């Protein structure tokens, strides 16, 4: 299978790396049963894909076998943003075609330049991904990921418009809710927490994202009340 290359992966400022590092360490404390983690938010543009990719990278660089799944088939951004392409110049098969049955799960995750890093990107957005997510095959894909990777980060659609996020959450071991500082209201955050609860998806923590650097940053982990931020 061909290797996936990320042509555009800029270094982050030191403070942001440190914040992500704390988040990684906190996730490590969640125990062995937490493997499939949905990265979700109430609305678009809060930073789900950013946090999903950076967390994936943090774990991979620590030597842990980790996968990243792009399950936001309405608005996939990872391929373009990180300049993903196959080393052999072939066409990337993405999440939507894997879920449509175009290849086996063992061939769905591309290896990367890190031996322990695997990515299932998405290339084709679809008008109604709910059909693909509701399908048993999506559940099987996540089961496969849970059996083969220590952590799987699932980049999701926002919770506001459609039920995709709840469906994804119902199949994950927990969710990290990304909240855009100063933009997302408390009531939206509360509503999102309620949706996750309804889906039976434990809320593992909240990332307050895109804060002004002067305000500091934090991450709130429900279990141990640690704080963290990713500033912009
Ligand atoms: N902490 C951050 N620092 C810098 N840029 C960020 C940060 N979080 C998100 N962004 C940028 O904001 C935009 C929206 O983020 P994205 O991850 O695509 O949101 P979502 O997946 O929730 O729709 C992107 O251009 C992304 O690079
Ligand atoms: Mg996104």
Give the pLDDT band (50/70/90) at residue 232: very low
Is 192 touching ligand 1 by the criterion CB < 6 Å?
no
Ligand 1 centroid, distance to 44 Cα (angstroms): 9
Number of domains in the chain: 1
What is the model's pLDDT at position 229?
A: 52
Q: Whose CA is nearest to atom 27 of ligand 1?
A: 50
Look up the CATH number of the domain holding residue 164.
3.40.50.300
Give the mean pLDDT of 176-190. Answer: 95
Question: Which phi and psi angles does 154 have, rounded to 5°?
Answer: -110, 110
Closest ligand 1 atom to residue 41 Cα is: 22
Task: Report pLDDT digits (tens) over 71-112.
Answer: 999 999 999 999 999 999 999 999 999 999 989 999 999 999
Contact call for residues 58 and 20 (beta carbons, < 8 A): yes
Q: What is the pLDDT of residue 1?
A: 74
Q: Which atom belonging to ligand 1 lies closest to the Cα atom of 210?
A: 1
Q: Whose CA is nearest to atom 3 of ligand 1?
A: 232
Cβ 47 under 6 angstroms from ligand 1: yes
Domain membership of residue 120 as a residue range? 4-231
Answer yes or no: is pLDDT of 10 > 60. Answer: yes
pLDDT of 184 above 70: yes
The 10s digit of each residue's pLDDT in 30-78 is 999 999 999 999 999 999 999 999 999 999 999 999 999 999 999 999 9
Q: Residue 230: what pLDDT? A: 53
Could you give the CA distance from residue 11 to residue 43 in angstroms, rounded to a whole number?
26
The set of residues, in sequence order, having a beta carbon less than 8 Å from that of 108 and lying 6+ positions away, is 93, 98, 120, 141
Average pLDDT, the chain: 91
**Residue 192 CA to ligand 1 centre (angstroms):** 19
């Amino acid at each position: 299978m061909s290797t996936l290359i990320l042509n555009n992966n800029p270094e982050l400022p030191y403070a942001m790396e440190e914040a992500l590092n704390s988040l990684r360490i906190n996730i490590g404390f969640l125990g062995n049963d937490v493997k499939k983690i949905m990265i979700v938010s109430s609305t678009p543009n809060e930073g789900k894909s950013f946090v999903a990719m950076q967390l994936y990278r943090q774990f991979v660089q620590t030597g842990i076998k980790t996968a990243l799944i792009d399950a936001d088939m309405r608005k996939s951004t990872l391929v373009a943003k990180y300049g993903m392409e196959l080393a052999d110049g072939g066409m990337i098969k993405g999440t939507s075609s894997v879920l449509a049955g175009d290849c086996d799960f063992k061939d769905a995750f591309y290896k990367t330049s890190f031996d322990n890093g695997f990515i299932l990107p998405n290339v084709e957005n679809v008008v109604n991904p709910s059909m693909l997510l509701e399908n048993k095959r999506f559940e099987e894909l996540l089961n496969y990921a849970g059996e083969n990777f220590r952590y799987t980060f699932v980049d999701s659609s926002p919770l506001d418009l459609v039920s995709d996020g709840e469906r994804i959450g119902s199949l994950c071991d927990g969710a990290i809710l990304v909240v855009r500082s100063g933009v997302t209201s408390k009531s939206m955050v509360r509503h999102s927490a309620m949706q996750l609860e309804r889906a039976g998806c434990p809320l593992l923590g909240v990332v307050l994202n895109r804060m002004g650097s002067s305000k500091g940053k934090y991450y709130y982990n429900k279990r141990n009340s640690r704080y963290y931020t990713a500033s912009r």
